[in-house]
Structure 1
């Protein structure tokens, strides 16, 4: 199961670690009356009734210089907010809303992540005045709560059920669950259904020379080398005449759903006419949805007599699809059954890369080297500073940079960083996300 993520956030000593222990059902987090006991993000599997989630306990949000220990703790907390599907913002109901709560409430609100406001230490009706005071933070209705005694869990369960996405079924090793989810997409008549029939060894799907025979996306269970696979065949994706937001939308909504359902998407090209404009648009869509990609060159039996063609097409792919640099390009024939094992090995490899996590220490060692080799440019005579980086998510790999004036970082420099991450941590072909988080004093006005 790929569980949704909940981050517990607030100033020091409001009871975040006690809440974390309550949610995970055991004392994993160190709890102490002294502020700042939690220095790093701590993670566990939390649950309230039937609502399950991954929960992150964070260091207290404090104003501090970015290079200090407190500043690095704050950066870790910001990374947790970036990663979360929902944030539990905790205040001390007995102390009421303090001035130091407000800038951090603003930080959480700006993140765009759903926020649940917890007025902790309100056991037995204590601190209700402080709970009511929490309305002034503009984060919605506070939940009077006691992490120490478990009061308010029912209200929190209802609030989480409203904001959290359904957990994704996930099966990393192919045993149990639904297996690896793979969608086969492409232009009409690229040979998708013929390929799937050959893969599963039976004529489950209607095929023919007419384009567009498949009207709905069709899901099939299959096993490849002992690994469970959930295959999705899709209708051919045609362009709409109208262009919306400069990205050509694709007419088949079922195909879009299949892409969003999938972990790995095989974009099937007709090897006799590869890399048509529509092929590139489909890869663009898959990348924008954050799915792992494999390029399949189907009908290879029709062009196999052309020496050097595969090398040329792989070079074309690198040039035309820089956003998935290093993507696997596999030649195959669905009709003849050639290349299916190579295709599936590429799919499994792409899934592993898509799910890869890199330690913060390794990322920052790479970052130090990357900044020395090619420092960020100066803006208005002041050099952009990148202080810290971390991976906030996988599937696809998503990294966050923290520093000053990052909103002024040129696109060419972010491309340099993304390409560097791809090369340094062996992330070929997968979409890579990079978030830029400018750290500034939250107490400054304006």
Structure 2
């Protein structure tokens, strides 16, 4: 079932314009006259890979409960009650008004997650008034324009965090013949654009010694040995605390969004200063998003002891990145064009692993051996029992275990299962998801 989001605010702040933008059609009437919307209007919203029900509501006004305005307010309150999240909209052009305050309090008391939008912020006056919205106590406002689409990237990021069930399943959308989407991520000046130019054999992307030349995420259609791919160049990702420029913040958000739409992410490290803290943070982000990982050691032509350093860096990758244990570490030089075939072989192999499906029979044979070799611990004198498992999806591989008291299973034992799966079924580098389900085995038919 899709999550539901309600758009709430006083009259004429632009709620219906926002509604129309999210549903992609002019379903709601829009006019400068306050109070055009009276009933709740529902539609299906699409924002990148998010799908959710969106509800446009009447403008909140103080009124007697028996009056038309009072009944309209009751409809809005019902929409808030039924919603999984609320978009609270104010007009940044007029600034915060006293009438915004009681309705912000109403939304806060509902206990629902709230995203604060300062709409109509396209003008200088609007931008200046955005910060007044902090007074509502609903968190940091997004400078937004429903008419022009400004701020949709920040709205996407917050909705995605609040509504994980709104993310559309990759497998439902994409077929086996679709291009493999490959994002190149890394710190500024790691050589991402140079690498892509070398791969496609063209100076398609701007490059240079200055960090931060790339701002937008650029997608390029490409074919490697008959395999179709989309290469995505991204802005360099640096520590959030070091990002001062507004344009750089937008570029960073764009890079993270590109990673979310990728199948495989190449994390490009500067081999002369590898595994900085920011590199580890980037890999952690990728793993949390469930993308396949390949680590590229760029500028390898500048390294003196190549054999010794490669061994050392592969050991470091295993130690520092246990969440993607076995991820390929590929030395290369984007500038000199060295190691590019090795990189692409690793990318397509990682994509294959990310798509792996394992039969239920093989999984349960492995499970029996794993549990016999290392039984789960006892809790309050009763041993935890894992009776059955199955794979519920791929991209990345996701497994469900069924048994008794699995809520009490220690994290160390879950890690034991994940590492065992990775080794037994050759799943290096790809994120592995695990669900623990207590109760009767739903696949066990005919047995009590």
Range of TM-score over shorter length: 0.5 to 0.7
Counterpart CA distance in 2 for 1:166 and 1:266 is: 22
Residue pairs, 1:17-96, within 5 angstroms: none
> Contact conserved, 1:240 with 1:250, CA < 8 A, in 2?
no
Q: In the TM superposition, what whole-angstrom CA distance separates every residue of 1:345-374 from its partner, at most 9, and x where no partner exists?
A: 000000000000000010000000000000
On the 8 A contact 1:354/1:397 being kept in 2, the answer is yes
Look up the SS of the partner of 1:308 in the other structure: helix
Superposition deviation, residue 325 in structure 1 = 0.6
Alpha carbons 2:182, 2:264 under 8 Å: kept: yes
Is 1:165 the equivalent of 2:168? Answer: yes
Decide which structure has greater helix share. Answer: 2
Give the structure-1-normalised TM-score: 0.59
Q: 1:163 to 1:346 in 2, by over 3 A?
A: closer
Find out whether 1:392 has 2:392 as its counterpart.
yes
Deviation at 1:377, TM superposition (A): 0.2
1:290 and 2:290 equivalent?
Answer: yes
Matched positions, count: 276
Report whether the alignment pairs 1:358 with 2:358. yes
Residues 251 and 200 (structure 1), Cα distance of their counterparts in 2 relative to 1, 3 Å cut: closer
**Structure with more relative contact order (C-alpha pairs < 8 Å, separation 6 or more):** 1
1:401–1:434 contact (8 Å) kept in structure 2: yes
Q: Distance in 1 between matches of 2:389 and 2:403?
A: 9
In structure 2, relative to structure 1, the CA distance for the partners of 1:369 and 1:342 (3 Å cut) is: same
Contact map agreement 1:240 1:251 (CA 8 A) in 2 = no
8 Å contact from structure 1 (residues 237, 250) kept in 2 = no
Partner of 2:315: 315
Task: Give 2:88's aligned residue.
Answer: none
Residues 238 and 250, structure 1, Cα contact 8 Å, conserved in 2: no
CA distance in 2, matches of 1:250, 1:278: 18
In structure 2, the CA distance between the partners of 1:364 and 1:230, relative to structure 1 (3 Å rule), is same
Q: Contact 1:171/1:180 (CA < 8 Å) preserved in 2?
A: no
- The whole-number CA distance in structure 2 between the counterparts of 1:255 and 1:170 is 22
Alignment gaps of 5+ in structure 2: 3-50, 53-83, 85-164, 243-248, 443-448
Counterpart for residue 381 of structure 1: 381
Aligned CA RMSD, in angstroms, stands at 2.7
Unaligned runs of 5+ in 1: 6-84, 87-111, 113-161, 243-248
After superposition, residues 219-368 of structure 1 pair within 5 angstroms as 219-241=219-241, 252-368=252-368
Q: Which runs of 4+ in 1 moved over 4 A?
A: 166-169
Distance 2:287 2:235 in 1: 19
CA positional deviation for 1:166: 7.7
How far off is 1:239 after superposition? 1.7
CA contact (8 A) 1:418 1:432 kept: yes
Aligned partner of 2:159 in structure 1 is: none
Say if 1:229 and 1:251 are closer, same or farther in 2 by CA, change over 3 A.
closer
Question: Matched residues in 2 for 1:418 and 1:163: separation?
Answer: 26
Separation (CA, whole Å) in 2 of partners of 1:422 and 1:336: 35
| C-alpha distance in 1 between matches for 2:407 and 2:431 | 21
Aligned ranges 1:401-440 → 2 under 5 Å: 401-439=401-439
- Determine the C-alpha separation between the residues in 2 that align with 1:254 and 1:357: 31
Residues 402, 169 of structure 1: alpha-carbon distance in 2 compared, 3 angstrom cutoff: closer
Kept in 1, the 8 Å contact 2:235–2:251? The answer is no
In structure 1, how many angstroms separate the alpha carbons of the residues matched to 2:372 and 2:250?
Answer: 43
Distance 1:209 1:394 in 2: 40
Partner of 1:92: none
DSSP-derived class of the 1:241 partner: helix
Aligned-residue offset at 1:387: 0.8
- For 1:215, the equivalent position in structure 2 comes to 215
- When normalised by structure 2's length, the TM-score is 0.58
1: CA distance between counterparts of 2:347 and 2:207? 24
